[in-house]
Amino acid sequence: MLLWAFLTAFILSIILTPFVIRLAYKMGATDKPNERKVHEKVMPRMGGLAIFLSFFIAYVIFGGNFPNQVPILLGALVIIIIGMIDDIYELRARTKLLGQIAAALIIILMGGLEVEFINLPFGGMLEFGMLSIPITILWIVGVTNAINLIDGLDGLAAGVSSIALITISVMALLMGDLFVATLALIVTGGTLGFLKYNFYPAKVFMGDTGSLFLGYIIAVISLLGFKNVTMISLIVPIIILGVPLSDTFFAIIRRVINKQPLAAPDKSHLHHCLVRVGYSHRETVILIYALAASFGLAAIIFSLATLWGALLILGILILTIEIIVEKIGLVGANYQPLLKMYNTAKNANVKNKG
């Protein structure tokens, strides 16, 4: 069933995307070039509608006996409507945020999906109580916007999302969770089918319709698979989504340092920085794919490791992220605390030897 679910969504997406492209032009859902964009001609967006439709049809076919079907689809529909309106009329950031919160509340209140507690590594339990709903909303909204922010190059968000979804499906199968594995593979199929038209040079952009939907559904799927478990296991979805979440985290740091509004757009995200240091459009996308795949593999190893092994892997990942951030100037050209410390120690060592 897993293979058929994946293939159904994949084929549907390939068939539906050309129709969605024509619909985007008719509805005025187009992306015009400007100083922040890398494309040089008017492009249709709203292509994420094809991902959603393929997901919707395949999920109705293969997920009929699974729980939370109505809340998941209803929340996704709210996100899709918000995304489509934004792709056509460009909504204010506050309006989009309210739509994301509404979608999160649907899956929480109707589907009962919330992080209520975690088991601590050295014994005991941490119950969130009244904070469980705000924490769950924060996760869903945070992941939704993380995928939205990384959607800056042809095929980037679709590829990174697919890698995250494949990782989640593999881990769900290892845990014996057929529901999460099926749901993740359906979304993967729809996203990869769309990627045929979205990879560089793209014929269509997914727009907020696609990036918001992918972020929302990945957040929901990861909660379905990893909620109410140990603290170590709760870190797994964070590692899986290491690339978009890190990019979002450092974007917030960058804007706070520069005293800019958190919602202010800029051209200093991960993909912008890699292009700026000399990588081509295609090379940047493939490099970020490789980075996302590395995080996915690390998440699988992390989940199978002992407590101390998991902590070691986590430490290595954090150190790696920090070095990459400083090397490419993700926070700013002058933000290099580790590299400056290393160079100071290196120069001192050379001086002592001399």
Binding site per annotation, positions for Mg(2+): 148, 208
Burial class (CB in 10 A: 0-12, 13-18, 19+), 300: middle
125's enclosing H/E stretch is: strand 125-127
> Tokens representing 125?
């339990």
* Measured distance CA(63)–CA(68) in Å, rounded: 10
Contact 233, 196 (CB under 8 A): no
CA angle 73, 221, 76 (to 5 degrees): 25
Q: Which residues are annotated as a binding site?
A: 148, 208
The 3-state DSSP class for residue 281 equals helix
* Measured distance CA(188)–CA(341) in Å, rounded: 42
Half-sphere exposure of 65 (CA within 13 A, CB side): 2
Question: Residue 111: which residues within 8 A CB-CB, separation 6 or more?
Answer: 67, 68, 71, 72, 75
